Amino acid sequence: MHLGKEAASLVSRQFAAPIALEFEKAYCPYFLFAKKRYAGLLFASDPQIPDRLDKKGVESVRRDSCEFVHDVYEGALSLLCRSKNEPALVAEAAALVQREAHALLSGRVDIHRLLLSKQVPSTSPSPLRHPWVQLKCGAPRLMQCLTPRLVAYSALRTTR
């Protein structure tokens, strides 16, 4: 933080009077996954104590992932950020992900933790264009169309 503030004052002296560069925050560690997707421990006020775990654009803050993904991602990321290159905490984060993946594959994860919900935008010209609405609204109609064909097919199969 000290170097950041010093760099800001040096650069500010190089510009005209109304332009001033100000130190805002520092991250340590900093994980950059892609453009506009990052996470890290945020240091803004005290250089010794992190203010919080800051996340932007990653699965644990996005609303299009389920609670299970959010919890696993948050737990592993928290362990990795606080590890300070300690192999035991990195191994613990890997073990957490493996344990949760095994629980998911063995069916021990509550189905409510795997649900997603979406809202249909009120500005949408036709709400039926959205696939999740088509699935919900179209399923009964699809069964109405298929039922006579399925009955006829099963009758045909039993007479042969």
Q: Which range of residues forms the domain containing residue 28?
A: 1-57
Q: What per-residue confidence (pLDDT) applies to 103? A: 94
- The residue among 57, 72, 98 that closes a domain is 57
Residue 115 within a domain: yes
Query: Do residue 67 and residue 109 come from a single domain?
Result: yes
User: Are residues 63 and 101 located together in one domain of the fold?
Assistant: yes
User: Is the pTM higher than 0.75?
Assistant: no
Whether residue 27 contacts residue 43, with contact meaning beta carbons closer than 8 Å, is answered with yes
- pLDDT given for residue 72 in this prediction: 94
Tell me the pLDDT band of 150, cut-offs 50, 70 and 90: very low
> Between residues 69 and 63, which one has the greater pLDDT?
69
- Distance of alpha carbon 57 from alpha carbon 80, whole angstroms: 18
Asked whether the predicted pLDDT for residue 111 surpasses 80, the reply is yes
What are the tens digits of pLDDT across the range 28-68?
Answer: 898 999 999 999 999 988 888 888 999 998 887 877 788 99
